[in-house]
Amino acid sequence: MTDPQRDHPPGPSAGSAVPSWAAGVAAGLAAAGCHDVLYVPDNPLSHILEALRRDHPGVRTRLATREEEAMGIAAGLHLGGARPAVLMQSSGLGNTLNAIGSLLVPYQIPLLMVISMRGDAGEWNAAQVPMGRAVVPVLDAFGIEHLAVERGEEAEGTVLALAHLAFGTRTQAACLLPRRLTVPVRGGVA
Amino acid sequence: MTRFEAVRLIREWAPDDPVVASLGHPAYDLFASGDRDLNFYTWGSMGLTSSIALGLALARPALAVHALDGDGSLLMNLGALATIGNLAPANLAVFVLDNGVYGTTGGQPTPTSRGADLEAAARAMGIARTATARGENGLRQALAAVREAPGPWVVVVKVEESAPTARPPLDCVFIKQRFMAALGQE
Ligand SMILES: Cc1ncc(C[n+]2csc(CCOP(=O)(O)OP(=O)(O)O)c2C)c(N)n1
Ligand SMILES: [Mg+2]
C-alpha cells in the first residue's frame, strides 16, 4: 500500500531523466526546509514529485482534492510549526482566491506556491488561456511576490529566495514555471 | 441543545486542546464559551476549518486537535472529508455544528435540513469513526467515544441556532500569533 503521507507513486517521468528545472525546484524546496508539500496534480508537476521522491526522502508530499483545500491544510501545518508549500497548476490558483484573501494574507500565514503555468506561450487549449493570463494580475492584486523561472539552472535559487521571503517575513510568494520551460515546443503546431 | 450549549460542552471536555472554529456563529460561540490562546477563530475562508485543523494535526501528532465546523461551511469543502479519510490522522476530531441553516447570514436552510447527511458523507469518504449526536447526553456519549478510540473522527452535532452573545477579537494576526505561541511556535 502506498503511504498517503508520501503518496506519489512513480509517475510518467519515472525512469526517464528528471528535467533540470524540476530537480532544481525540488532541491530548492528541500534546502528551504519545506518538508511538507501539498499538491493537486498537473503534468509538469509530476516531474517535481518524482524528483522529491527520488532525491529528497525527507520531504512529505500530500494530495489535496482542491487547491483551496491545500491552502487550508498548509495554513494548519504552519500553525504547527511547518514551512509548507503548495504545488498547483495555474488554473488551480483560481480555486484558491478566498483562501489567500481571507486566511493567508490577513493572518500573515506564510506559504510558498509553485505554479505550473498553462495558457502562456506554447499553449494549445483555449480553456487554459484566460486563467493563465490572470495569474500575474491576481498575485499582484494580493501583493504577492512572484518570479518566473526562465532556465533550469535558476530554479533552485529562485525557489530558495522566494522561500526566504515567505517564511522570513510571514508572507506568501509564488514561483511560476512557464510552459516554455516545462514543455518546450519542438516544431510543428499542435 | 443549542449550538452554544454544544460548544460549551466540547470546550469543557477539551480544556487544553487546540480548537479551530469556523467563521461566524461557531467562532462567536467558541469565544463566548471562554476565550483562550488555544482557540483559533477564523474570520473568513469559509469551508477550510477542517482543513486547517487537519494540517495542524499532521504537523503536531502529539496534540489532540479539534475543529468546530458549520454544516454550511463543511458543505463548501466536502473534498476535505476525502482527504481526512485518506491521510487519516489519529489525533483529529471534526465536530460539525449542524443547525440545518446558514445561521450567521440569516438562517437560510442548508441541504442538511432536507436530509443531506454529513455523517454518511464522512463514512463514504473513508472516515471510519463517525457519530451523529443529538441532545446533551448524546454529545457526552460521543465525546467519551472520541477520547477512547483514535481518529480521525467526524461527529455531526445536531443543534438549534442560538443568537451569539459575544464576538472574538478582530485582529487576525493577534489570534494567530498567540495561538502559535501557546503551541510553542515562534
Ligand atoms: C466564501 C464565502 N461565502 C459566503 C460567506 C457568507 N457567510 C458567512 S458565514 C455563512 C454561513 C455559515 O453557515 P454554517 O457554516 O452552517 O454556520 P452557522 O452560521 O449556521 O453556525 C455564510 C454563508 C462567506 N463569508 N464566505
Ligand atoms: Mg449552520
List phi, psi (to 5°) of B78.
Answer: -65, -25
Calculate how far, in angstroms, residue A138's C-alpha sits from the geometric centre of ligand 1. Answer: 24
Residues 6+ apart with CB under 8 A from A162: A112, A145, A147, A173, A174, A175
User: pLDDT-derived band of residue A190, with 50, 70 and 90 as boundaries?
Assistant: low
Preceding peptide of B152 cis, ω within 30°: yes
Residue A8 pLDDT greater than 90, yes or no? no
Distance from CA of A57 to the nearest CA of B (A): 17
Bridge-partner residues for B41, per DSSP? B21
Would you state the pLDDT for residue B147? 97
Calculate how far, in angstroms, residue B102's C-alpha sits from the geometric centre of ligand 1. Answer: 6
**What's the alpha-carbon Rg for chain A, to the nearest Å?**
15
Cell triple for B30: 467558541
Residue A104 pLDDT greater than 50, yes or no? yes
pTM: 0.96
Domain ranges of chain B: 3-182
Which atom in ligand 1 lies closest to the alpha carbon of residue A98? 1
ipTM of the complex: 0.98
Would you state the pLDDT for residue B133? 98
> Which of B78, B96, B130 has its CA nearest to residue B22?
B96
8-state DSSP, A102: I
Does A107 lie at the interface with B, CB-CB under 8 angstroms?
yes
Q: Look at A4 and B88 and tell me if their CB atoms are within 8 Å.
A: yes
Exposure of B126 by Cβ count < 10 A (0-12 exposed, 13-18 middle, 19+ buried)?
Answer: middle
Which tens digits make up the pLDDT trace of A131-156?
A: 999 999 999 999 999 999 999 999 99
Terminal C-alpha separation, chain A: 39
Given a contact cutoff of 8 angstroms between Cβ atoms, the answer to whether B14 and B30 are in contact is: no
Which atom in ligand 1 lies closest to the alpha carbon of residue B69? 15
Does B56 lie at the interface with A, CB-CB under 8 angstroms?
yes
Would you state the pLDDT for residue A187? 78
Cα–Cα distance, A137 to A57 (Å, whole number): 35
Percent of chain A surpassing pLDDT 70: 91
User: pLDDT-derived band of residue A9, with 50, 70 and 90 as boundaries?
Assistant: low
User: In CATH, what class is A20-182?
Assistant: alpha beta
Tell me what the mean pLDDT of segment B81-105 comes to: 98
Which tens digits make up the pLDDT trace of B8-57?
A: 999 999 999 999 999 999 999 999 999 999 999 999 999 999 999 999 99
Cα–Cα distance, B79 to B85 (Å, whole number): 10
**Residue linked to cell 482566491:** A97
> Which of A157, A139, A137, A158 has its CA nearest to residue A147?
A158
Would you state the pLDDT for residue A1? 41
Residue A10 pLDDT greater than 90, yes or no? no
Terminal C-alpha separation, chain B: 39
Given a contact cutoff of 8 angstroms between Cβ atoms, the answer to whether A5 and B88 are in contact is: no
Cα–Cα distance, A169 to A4 (Å, whole number): 31
Which tens digits make up the pLDDT trace of A32-60?
A: 999 999 999 999 999 999 999 999 999 99
Calculate how far, in angstroms, residue B72's C-alpha sits from the geometric centre of ligand 1. Answer: 6
> Residue B108 is which amino acid?
Q
> Which of B81, B88, B17, B14 has its CA nearest to residue B51?
B81
CB contacts < 8 A, A to B, total 123
Smallest Cβ–Cβ distance between A72 and the set B55, B57, B82 belongs to B55
Exposure of A41 by Cβ count < 10 A (0-12 exposed, 13-18 middle, 19+ buried)?
Answer: middle
* Chain A residues with beta carbon closer than 8 angstroms to that of B91: none
In CATH, what is the architecture of B3-182? 3-Layer(aba) Sandwich (3.40)
Tell me what the mean pLDDT of segment A48-76 comes to: 98
Which three-class secondary structure state does DSSP give residue A188? coil
